Structure 1
Amino acid sequence: MSFVTTGDGVQIFYKDWGPRDAQPIVFHHGWPLSSDDWDAQMLFFVQKGFRVVAHDRRGHGRSAQVWDGHTMDVYAADAAAVVQHLDLRNAIHVGHSTGGGEVARYVARHGEPQGRVAKAVLVSAVPPLMLRTEANPGGLPIEVFDGFREALAANRAQFFLDVPTGPFYGFNRPGAQVSEGVIRNWWRQGMMGSAKAHYDGIKAFSETDQTEDLKAISVPTLVLHGEDDQIVPIDDSARRSVTLLRNGTLRTYPGYSHGMLTVNAEVLNADLLAFVKA
């Protein structure tokens, strides 16, 4: 397995597939998963001739289960360590959910200033801010995220079954085609990681205001979001993000869930490819 050591000594696992001289696409996974959640995209794009890279966030998947550093700032710095280790240039960065927040902070603070980023994609992403505040009245109340923390601390294994079985993939909707394999894979990825990292990560993805990150990004940025996303509601995320981006494009999908990259991979991959090649 391949690892890079961050500046604070943390071992970060990564995958690096495809020709070294091809344009790189870097994938950033969501909470509480791992780089394995990008299987459908990495296989698709490597077969199209791209170099595809994805890492496990610290405390997630096969990366070190350290007790600290579970913040958006550190997530972005860890991503930068992978990029610098592989010397990736002219890259497209694609982030899902919490990974979308990671992409926004990475591009704004590390990628664009170094000229390493060509384009960015935010999929079902958490920016600009999930938490309801006076300045963000459309956000979710803190009680929602306190409930996540309570459920995780009480019985993480059951919580990590309930989320994919229900709202994450829209399997709780009438007529949904439920995939037991998708549910088990979500659970497997989640349980590989650290409960401490997952607990702290709830604060990172819900309370990090990324308004200024979005304003700082100038590269072409595609924002993709399902209109039936029950995890990250579209109105206070994607529809706000595109108004803050200098060069943003919004595409929404009626009836699609938070986990649309997996259950609607054929549609999403085609749209991602069109944007990458544009």
Structure 2
Amino acid sequence: MTLRSTSAAGKEPKISTSLGDKIGFSSVSTNDGVQIFYKDWGPKTAQPIVFHHGWPLSSDDWDNQMLFFLGKGYRVIAHDRRGHGRSSQTSDGHDMDHYAADAAAVVEHLDLRNAIHVGHSTGGGEAARYVARYGKERVAKLILIGAVPPLMLKTEANPNGLPIDVLDGLRKQLAANRSQFYFDFASGPFYGYNRPGAEPSQAVIWNWWRQGMVGSARAHYDGIKAFSETDFTEDLKNITVPTLIQHGGDDQIVPVGDSALLSAKLLRHSTLKIYDLLPHGLCTTHANIINADLLAFISA
């Protein structure tokens, strides 16, 4: 069965049901033949919450939040970005336009309406572009957590951004020894485990590493450009739904001053929450705090 569609730059993505449904997992196939894996839990009549994961992870990174909101009676959905997790390890399309179109393919396939979209880190950029480009008739609210918008890269117009040398360094480490790079990344700045007095969780570190290594090195390499060099300024200006911004005050991956504070000014209806001393991976390290504030905003 084939559903109606257009290209990634259009208003509705091309999708079809996947062979994945016949072999025990749920996925949709995009117009360029990429299978996007997704989870869909809870009552089909309940309000849907759609989760967009960070780089280089998968929908598994939302386990805590999905179980929490499932227990509150919501329908929860999360997908693996192309080249990540259980989705196709395609060679092409590792950019925000395709990411947003792939998310739209899942949303249209499930016919989700009045949905809450929650994006962390790179997923925050994906969610913002999806809402701005595709979500006007389907989205109720947006939540950006440790999100990359409006722009991470240092430019003349964005002087406080990350220098390209830093991003080139990430690409160099990934290409040289992806396994070691991911282990070090999770063991250090992502969860703030490099801070004095921090108590690293080996289970959390290895779960991060596991999610990363399941995905494609090509997708993750190209994804660095996607999350760091995409300018979301116009996306944010065009978003009209109420938006909650949550960000760790000690985020070492996406510094709060050049992300959340600027996004709050660009959005029409924003609520900003900065959590002093919390790291980039705050949805895991401080899930109880984040979940409570998510629930308050969603149910308001």
Is the pair's TM-score, using the shorter chain for normalization, greater than 0.5? yes
Say whether residues 1:155 and 2:177 are aligned partners: yes
**From 66, 69, 73, the counterpart of 2:90:** 66
What's the offset of the Cα at 1:236?
0.3
TM-score by length of 1: 0.99
**From 243, 246, 251, the counterpart of 2:268:** 246
SS of match in other structure, 2:149: coil
Say whether residues 1:171 and 2:193 are aligned partners: yes
SS of match in other structure, 2:91: coil
Q: Can you give the 5+ residue segments of structure 1 that lack an aligned partner in the other structure?
A: none
Look up the equivalent residue of 2:274 and give its one-letter code.
Answer: T
What's the offset of the Cα at 1:8?
1.2
- What is aligned with 1:48? 72
- What is aligned with 1:277? 299
Greater relative contact order structure (CA < 8 Å, 6+ sep): 1
- What is aligned with 1:2? 26
Q: Distance in 1 between matches of 2:200 and 2:56?
A: 21
Q: Distance in 2 between matches of 1:200 and 1:33?
A: 14
- What is aligned with 1:146? 168
Say whether residues 1:18 and 2:62 are aligned partners: no
Look up the equivalent residue of 1:143 and give its one-letter code.
Answer: D
Say whether residues 1:32 and 2:40 are aligned partners: no
Superposed CA RMSD: 0.4
SS of match in other structure, 1:63: coil
- Superposed CA deviations along residues 171-210 of structure 1, whole A, max 9, x for unmatched, are 0001112100000000000000000000000000000000
Where in structure 1 do 4 or more consecutive aligned residues deviate above 3 Å? Answer: none
- 6-15 or 150-159, larger mean C-alpha shift: 6-15
Say whether residues 1:98 and 2:159 are aligned partners: no
- Superposed CA deviations along residues 221-270 of structure 1, whole A, max 9, x for unmatched, are 00000000000000000000000000011000001000000010000000
Q: Distance in 1 between matches of 2:102 and 2:31?
A: 8
Look up the equivalent residue of 1:13 and give its one-letter code.
Answer: F
**From 219, 222, 229, the counterpart of 2:251:** 229
SS of match in other structure, 1:235: helix
Say whether residues 1:180 and 2:205 are aligned partners: no
Q: Distance in 1 between matches of 2:53 and 2:71?
A: 20
- What is aligned with 1:259? 281
User: 5 Å matches for 1:80-119?
Assistant: 80-112=104-136, 115-119=137-141
Q: Distance in 2 between matches of 1:76 and 1:144?
A: 26
**From 114, 118, 122, the counterpart of 2:144:** 122
Q: Distance in 2 between matches of 1:67 and 1:226?
A: 33
TM-score by length of 2: 0.92
Q: Distance in 2 between matches of 1:224 and 1:232?
A: 12
SS of match in other structure, 2:256: coil
Q: Distance in 1 between matches of 2:115 and 2:265?
A: 24
Q: Distance in 2 between matches of 1:262 and 1:39?
A: 9
SS of match in other structure, 1:133: coil
Q: Distance in 2 between matches of 1:148 and 1:64?
A: 23
Q: Distance in 2 between matches of 1:143 and 1:269?
A: 35
